[in-house]
């Protein structure tokens, strides 16, 4: 037909039939050849590949300037499947200490059971010298970090990892490919939680890993066995969300900077964590590495645990919900949500105290969000 769908249709089928047996056999053989040649493969079984899922994988790969991408049922499925594809008993992971709490749990509670050693380094300690000294198999980071928004010198880290033969992996969820593309700085693999900005509307759960096909092949094999593939309807909805990603993210970044400046001047706020402020320790790195400073703002309130929770409860525009990156502004207390299961001594060292508040800035007008924060901060 002359016409074709403007959006990828939802291929709602678990399996795909062929006219002849030899066609099915050839399709099975060709399924993995796509990682060698880039040639599209015929769908066979949705746990392997699905046309709707492939459409969003190709779209995310293009956004990150990657050769290809793989989609998953969640961000944690993308992270865990990626690490399990490459790590073996006796291997060593050098990881940033300020990671998403779920990733920290995976690295501290799960991988050591299988004889995989994990070393954590604070942002100022994760230097090229440390990478060369420890010689890990995988270097795993986030930038900006969760929730204190440190920004790492990505090119230096990737170069040092490659000098010792390590795989350089980064979680780019906070920045999104709109603000930075870590593959361009030398990273091997980029992971995302599509539940956040890529989907953008708090109504889907998914994840991606992006990179060279050479690295994606073992991850595809592991995904096929573990089964954490993205649902076709979720793939359709994420693909739709990508169409407004840049519009949303740049608007949210502009608002986040205004919110950060307001908080920095308020007497009830002890410290603001936002790379767009000149007072941020990584402001210069962020200016050189990112197109804008991100949609997340964290701040330390002048109060204890109970006072901080009372502050959060006084907010009426911000939603008390544990996610980020979407159209609705959200507020959380990291010690009770994302970092609830992280050891308290680690949280204290990283500056994640009971008075830390994390804001995910949505698409509401800046003046509306600032007015909500002002009334909550200044209530008697």
* Distance between start and end Cα atoms, the chain: 67
Does 224 participate in catalysis according to the annotation?
no
Length of the chain equals 380
The one catalytic residue in 49, 54, 68, 100 is 100
Q: Please identify which of the residues 34, 54, 150, 196 carries the catalytic annotation.
A: 196
Q: How far is CA 69 from the centre of its chain?
A: 14
Maximum C-alpha span of the chain: 76
In 3D, which of 40, 63, 34 has the Cα closest to residue 210? Answer: 63
On the CB side of 224, how many CA atoms lie within 13 Å of its CA? Answer: 14
Q: Using CA atoms, how far apart are residues 118 and 165, in angstroms rounded to an integer?
A: 17
Name the active-site residue from 47, 217, 240, 314: 47
Looking up tokens 């693999």 gives 189
Nearest to 53 by CA among 64, 41, 65, 38: 41
Q: Which H or E run contains 92?
A: strand 92-96
| Backbone φ and ψ of 147, nearest 5° | -110, 5
140 as an active site residue: the answer is no
Calpha distance 236→199 (Å, rounded): 10
Buried b (16+ CB within 10 A) or exposed e, 122-157: ebeebebebbeebebbbbbbbbbbbbbbbbbbbebb
Catalytic residue check, 171: yes
**Is 141 within 8 Å of 96 (Cβ atoms)?**
yes
45 has catalytic annotation: no
Q: Which residues have CB under 8 Å from 227's CB, separation 6+?
A: 47
Give the active site residue among 171, 188, 231, 372.
Answer: 171
Three-class SS state of 337? coil
Helix axes 21-37, 213-226, angle to 10 degrees: 130
What are the catalytic residues? Answer: 47, 100, 171, 196
């Amino acid at each position: 037909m002359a016409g074709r769908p403007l959006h990828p249709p939802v291929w709602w089928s678990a399996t795909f039939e062929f006219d002849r047996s030899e066609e099915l056999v050839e399709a099975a053989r060709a399924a993995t050849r796509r990682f060698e040649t880039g040639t599209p493969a015929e769908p066979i079984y949705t746990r392997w590949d699905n046309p709707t899922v492939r459409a969003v994988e190709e779209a995310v790969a293009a956004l990150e300037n990657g050769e290809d991408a793989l989609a998953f049922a969640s961000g944690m499925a993308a992270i865990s499947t990626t690490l399990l594809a490459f790590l073996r008993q006796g291997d060593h992971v050098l990881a940033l200490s300020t990671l998403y709490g779920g990733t920290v749990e995976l690295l501290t509670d799960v991988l050591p059971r299988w004889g995989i050693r994990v070393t954590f380094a604070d942002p100022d300690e994760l230097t090229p010298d440390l990478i060369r000294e420890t010689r890990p198999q995988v270097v795993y980071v986030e930038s900006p970090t969760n929730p204190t928004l440190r920004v790492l010198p990505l090119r230096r880290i990737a170069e040092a990892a490659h000098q010792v033969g390590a795989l350089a992996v980064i979680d780019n969820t906070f920045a999104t490919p709109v603000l930075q593309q870590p593959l361009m700085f030398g990273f091997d693999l980029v992971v995302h939680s599509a539940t956040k900005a890529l989907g953008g509307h708090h109504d889907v759960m998914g994840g991606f890993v992006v990179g060279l096909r050479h690295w994606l092949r073992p991850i595809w094999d592991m995904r096929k066995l573990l089964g954490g593939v993205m649902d076709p309807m979720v793939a359709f909805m994420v693909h739709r969300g990508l169409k407004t990603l840049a519009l949303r993210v740049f608007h949210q970044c502009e608002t986040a900077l205004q919110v950060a400046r307001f908080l920095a001047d308020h007497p009830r706020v002890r410290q603001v964590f936002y790379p767009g402020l000149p007072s941020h320790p990584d402001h210069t790195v962020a200016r050189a590495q990112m197109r804008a400073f991100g949609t997340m703002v964290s701040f330390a309130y002048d109060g204890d645990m109970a006072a901080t929770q009372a502050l959060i409860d006084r907010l009426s525009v911000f939603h008390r919900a544990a996610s980020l990156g979407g159209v609705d502004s959200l507020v959380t207390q990291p010690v009770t949500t994302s970092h609830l299961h992280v050891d308290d001594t680690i949280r204290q060292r990283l500056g994640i105290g009971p008075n830390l508040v994390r804001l995910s800035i949505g698409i509401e007008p800046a003046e509306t969000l600032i007015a909500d924060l002002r009334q909550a901060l200044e209530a008697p």
